Structures are given as C-alpha cells and as structure tokens.
Amino acid sequence: MSLTPHKAARALGAPDGVASQAMTRRDGGTASGWRASVVQDLALRLATPAAMTTDVGADAGAGAGAGADLSARWLADFGKVPEGERFDRLSTQAVGLTRIWLTSRNTGQVAEHFLLEVADSADSGRRSMDPS
C-alpha cells in the first residue's frame, strides 16, 4: 500500500457515497438493477485465475511480495460472501483490505482499534460524497 490505510479507507469510502446517492435517486426496480449490475461485474472479476487461486485464509508470509495481490485476495474473500449480501459487503471493503494487509505484514493479532479508525475514515469518505 502506498497510502496509509486511513487515507486509502477514505478514498474507498467515497464510492460508497456515490452509490448511496445513485440508489436514492432511482426507483426501486432501477436501483435493484443497478445493484445487481455492480455485483455481476465483480462476479466476472472473481472468475479470473488470480481470484480463484488465492487463499485468503493462508498467511501471505513475510518478505518481498507479501500483500502484493491485495485486491485478488479481497476478491477471493468477497466470492465467499452469499450473493444477496455482496452489495452490502462493498461498504466494508476498506476494513477488509486493511485486515488482509495487516495479516500479510505478520502483525499478529489485528488491532481492533486500528480497524475502527479505518472504518471511521471510510465513513468520512462516504459522507463527503453523500452528506444525507
């Protein structure tokens, strides 16, 4: 990660705000179709070899390259989420990515307070795009 997790979380939260605005500006059927389209696009990405072969339960280990395929690891984890819960899981992407990143850095027990700070930062990014 070239950004600190807090800054990256704020950046990841901004699309949540855009999604929130998109959902409130559409009627029920159109909003459902948009949500389904977003999840379908991610499902197509799950079909890539990197997403299919990445074991997010395994420790990435120390050394060069640890955590290099953060997105593929998150997508593999996302693929295990029941379809009906996938769209809502996107709003926790910053925390999920940070948890994977911390694990790959062999930080041991994940500091819950750090993950709460990341969640707050992501929420701040969401609110910056959708203050309602």
Domain locations in the chain as residue ranges? 5-56+68-129
For residue 69, which phi and psi values (nearest 5 degrees)?
-105, 50
Average pLDDT, the chain: 76
Q: What is the pLDDT of residue 90?
A: 86
Where is pLDDT greater, at 115 or 110? 115
What does the alpha-carbon distance between residue 109 and residue 126 come to, in Å, rounded to a whole number? 28
Confidence of residue 2 (pLDDT cuts 50, 70, 90): low
Integer CA distances (angstroms), 43 to 26, 69, 104, 124, in order: 23, 18, 24, 27
Prediction pTM value: 0.71
Cα distance between the two ends of the chain: 31
pLDDT in tens, 77-99: 888 999 889 888 888 888 888 88
Task: Give residue 49's pLDDT.
Answer: 60
